[in-house]
Amino acid sequence: MAAITRHLTNRTYPISSLTRRCLSSALPSETNNSHAPPYSSFHLKPRVPPPEDLKNKHVQWVFLGCPGVGKGTYASRLSNLIGVPHIATGDLLREQLASSTSLSSQLSETVKQGQLVSDEVIISLLSKRLTAGEAKGESGFILDGFPRTVKQAEILEGVTEIDLVINLKLREDVLLEKCLGRRICSQCGGNFNVASININAENGNPGIIMAPLLPPANCMSKLTTRSDDTEVVVKERLRIYNEMSRPVEEFYRIRGKLLEFDLPGGIPESWPKLLQALNLYDYEDKQPATA
Ligand SMILES: Nc1ncnc2c1ncn2[C@@H]1O[C@H](COP(=O)(O)OP(=O)(O)O)[C@@H](O)[C@H]1O
């Protein structure tokens, strides 16, 4: 087993191989729908990172999980801790939408309805972001929001080796509340959440408490809500996740890369447990205060 996982992870390519040209040319023709991988029934265990990988920034990780689960929050915290970029395709898309081109008005409709945009669009945005990062000397990445379909996962697998996929999990009623509670400060760009979750344990299911993540006083009057964070659209995004993105979990599970992580509560309970699951608990203490 160890030999297989070592073989998988030792094939990590430098980020420079994941260029715009490389990713874009990896797009399969529209007519090719036969992307069924050679599934086998046994599951490999994911290999959590050894410290050398982190020091050399050989980190090519993916965050999976339903809308509202906290991919952005935990990916961004890990990115600050390890010093590799957090790249969220949803953010790239929103930046694109902020520029008023004819493409952005079409995309805006798709996003507002909770649908996925085309692979061509998302891969082009991701490739540009990776190329720009490469030019600045960036190394490694933590992807959030990509891949979202098996086809995207196959394209990514074709151009680079993903080391680890962290699958964040939370019950669906909480996901909806968390999406509806999301707020963004229009000035500083900070992400907050006004939802206060307090669900008692019942029928053998554990209870869950998640305190709101409130903004500082100077952001209060500048809070905005994403146009796709309405109840109808969040339910549609959850449906699409189950239909299109759930199979991506299996894609990585059978490749021995999926680390399942059930969020036990809010950030104070979940963050230390996530660090433990990633063997990073001590790493946090050893970093200089500025890291
Ligand atoms: N990889 C992707 N493929 C297709 N569409 C995407 C992708 N990533 C983001 N999007 C679009 O951006 C929207 C917002 O994505 P994101 O910010 O990741 O939100 P969330 O995870 O909360 O649903 C998605 O609903 C979809 O329309």
Per-position DSSP letters for 55-99, written without gaps between them: HTT--EEEEE--TTSSHHHHHHHHHHHHT--EEEHHHHHHHHHHS
Which residue lies with its CA nearest to atom 17 of ligand 1?
90
- 237, 253, 255, 257: which one is catalytic? 237
CA distances (Å), 274 to each of 44, 58, 168, in order? 20, 19, 10
Give residue 23's pLDDT band: very low, low, confident or very high (50, 70, 90). low
Q: Are 29 and 155 in contact (CB under 8 A)?
A: no
- Sorted by where each begins, the domain ranges of the chain are 57-169+231-286
Q: State how far the Cα of 34 lies from the Cα of 151, in Å rounded to an integer.
A: 9
Question: Residues of the chain with pLDDT > 70: what percent?
Answer: 80
pLDDT of amino acid 105: 85
Give residue 191's pLDDT band: very low, low, confident or very high (50, 70, 90). very high
pLDDT of amino acid 6: 33
Q: What is the mean pLDDT of residues 249-263?
A: 96
Q: How many whole angstroms from 111 Cα to the centroid of ligand 1?
A: 7
Count of alpha carbons within 13 angstroms of residue 189, beta-carbon side: 4
- Say if strands 191-193 and 197-199 run parallel, antiparallel, or are unpaired: unpaired
The answer, yes or no, to whether ipTM is higher than 0.95 is yes
CATH number for the domain running over 57-169+231-286: 3.40.50.300
pTM over 0.90: no
Q: How many whole angstroms from 274 Cα to the centroid of ligand 1?
A: 23
Task: Please work out, in degrees rounded to the nearest 5, the angle formed at the alpha carbon of residue 86 by the alpha carbons of 135 and 66.
Answer: 140
Determine which of 8-22, 109-123, 267-281 has the lowest per-residue pLDDT on average.
8-22
